[in-house]
Amino acid sequence: MTDPYTDYDRFAWVYNQHWGGFSVRVMPVLEKLLLNRISENARILDLCCGTGQLAQSLNEHGYRVTGVDGSPEMLRYARENAPTVEFIASDARTFKADAAYQAVVSVFDSLNHIMNLDELTTVFHNVYAALLHDGFFMFDLNMEEGFITRWRGTFAIVRDDHVVVVRSSYDTDHKEGSMDFTVFRLEDTWQRTDIHLTQRAYTQDEITQALNAAGFSSVETYDAEKDLALNGNPGRMFFVCHK
């Protein structure tokens, strides 16, 4: 694609409606794994912040939050959902920030959208540079088990004014998950939008080596279901890294 964020811009409305609220479920995980390790008014960078619901939750807990996302349309909703939070339009692979944050977070498999290991390693370097000494980086990823278990088949969301049909699949040879959305919205007339998104499955060894290459020597891992009681998320793993 000429513009890598075209599909994410078109996905922003439906994401805001149906998936942005993942932050409500993940806040107890953040409290258990991260927030008890940083100061009460710490500066936190929400990387790939989407439509801002997590940034708002962290803001309400007293943290000074900056959200970064590459999609202008995602950020438009984020500014509505979290009007007192600072948001920056930037690509996770190229953003630059001086060491200013006690923590960086990136949740809801955002980094699976980075489709090759070199670019993911670059993201980790950028995060390391943005962290203060003794800072923490917490993120989650869909592992291959998650793609095999959850990325298959079709489901639909039906409302009076919109319908979302989701078709997902996983290519084991290329380690790539595909999700196709067909969205019908009733405005003056019914309008159709088709969206295609992809994610990459990385092994735990690949992720750990990339983190080490970026400078993170301490990496903790947690299974979403087994360790964190985040039911309905088989194959999702959380990583907590210390600078």
Rg (CA), the chain: 17
* Token pair listed for 45: 């960078």
- Domain assignments of the chain as residue spans, ordered by start: 6-143+202-242, 146-199
What's the rounded Cα separation, in Å, for the pair 110 and 72? 16
- Give per-residue pLDDT as tens, 148-170: 999 999 999 999 999 999 999 99
Q: With the CA atoms of 104, 110, 112 and 116 taken in that order, what torsion angle do they form, in degrees rounded to the nearest 10?
A: -70
**Helices (H), ranges, the chain:** 6-18, 22-33, 53-60, 72-81, 117-130, 144-150, 204-214
- 146-199: same fold as 6-143+202-242? no
- Give per-residue pLDDT as tens, 156-214: 999 999 999 999 999 999 999 999 999 999 999 999 999 999 999 999 999 999 999 99
Q: Per CATH, the architecture of 146-199 is what?
A: Single Sheet (2.20)
What's the rounded Cα separation, in Å, for the pair 209 and 212? 5
CATH code of 6-143+202-242, in short, is: 3.40.50.150
Average pLDDT of span 69-91? 97
* Predicted TM-score of the model (pTM): 0.96
What's the rounded Cα separation, in Å, for the pair 225 and 25? 12
- Determine contact, residues 123/216, Cβ cutoff 8 Å: no
What is the percent of the chain with per-residue pLDDT over 90, rounded to a whole number?
94
- Give per-residue pLDDT as tens, 30-45: 999 999 999 999 999 9
Q: Write out the DSSP string of 113-179.
A: GS-SHHHHHHHHHHHHHHEEEEEEEEEEEE-HHHHHHHS-EEEEEE-SSEEEEEEEEEETTTTEEEE
* Token pair listed for 173: 């040879």
- Give per-residue pLDDT as tens, 216-237: 989 999 999 999 999 999 999 9
Residue 24: per-residue pLDDT: 79
pLDDT band (50, 70, 90) for residue 5: confident
